Amino acid sequence: MTILYFPEHKLRFIRIPKNACSTVINSLGHSVINGAHPHQFGARFEAAQEGAQDWPCIAVLRDPFERAVSAYLNKLTDILAEELFVHELLDYIWRAQRKRQRPDWRTSITFREFVVHLASFPDEQLDMHWRSQSSFLGDEEPTVVLEMRRLEEQWKTHPLLRSIELRKFAPHATHSELNIGEDVFDVPGEAFVGFKAVCGQYPSPESFRDPYLVDLIQKRFANDYRLLATANFYEATGETAVSHDVAALRDVVAETQADVQEKREVAPANQTG
């Protein structure tokens, strides 16, 4: 877990990759960053001052499926020669799932193959960009919980944040509302480079949805879905509440727990000795 400290505002921030980290750091640390890339200054905010543990703690949470799509589009489409961890991952997935060597350093994988990989390994064996969000929280209970898709609205109305300008910084943003009406989860990652060049943006997360892949994500990141289902997101009314989407997740979690309990109660009756 990495917590950043911003003494100017007496606020802490839990850094969760792919969850608006650059924007939040650029906003809370603007007097230090002053227009430079926020990632260059992360270490500047890691030192805690005396009494900093009592400062309010901010966390931004995101739908796990959308976060997986974002990580895939950000890191596994336009392959960079210098990102060695990406090449190691792609080489491994080609060997493990396609049973052959990756033919070229610019060749990627499909979203389906990426999700299968995520579902096969625990957090400690995954790169930080696609580990579970809950793994970054540790034992910390954030006092200010914001939802990625409503970050701007919640930031501008929260009493601790509204006086701080939200300075968006997203040079690698993958957000898109472009639903092309086609399933693209089996399209090679490198093909999306040309798609974005022509269309100006990537396909929307909805274009990557597939029942099997959604099920894998829900099972692999069950702790994240539970976290979303129980998180008290800040509302413009000044109260805390879950969004409609997250409220629906509570029903899913409740149904899953009831199903598990039912199976446990039935199992002994089915055993023969």
The count of residues in the chain is 273
The DSSP letter of residue 149 is: G
Residue recorded with tokens 């994500």: 217
pLDDT score of 269:
43
- Name the strand (E) or helix (H) holding 267: helix 244-270
Q: Which three-class secondary structure state does DSSP give residue 121?
A: coil
pLDDT score of 32:
85
Task: Report domain extents, the chain.
Answer: 3-264
pLDDT in tens, the chain (273 residues): 689 999 999 999 999 999 999 999 999 998 888 777 777 776 778 888 889 999 999 999 999 999 999 999 999 999 999 999 999 999 999 999 999 999 999 999 999 999 999 999 999 999 999 999 999 998 888 999 999 989 999 999 999 999 999 999 876 677 777 787 778 999 999 999 999 999 999 999 999 999 999 999 999 999 999 999 988 787 765 554 444 444 544 454 455 445 444 544 544 444 433
pLDDT score of 177:
79
For residue 83, what are the CA distances in angstroms to 76, 127, 235?
A: 10, 12, 39
Q: What share of the chain is helix, strand, coil (3-state, %, to 5)?
A: 50, 10, 40
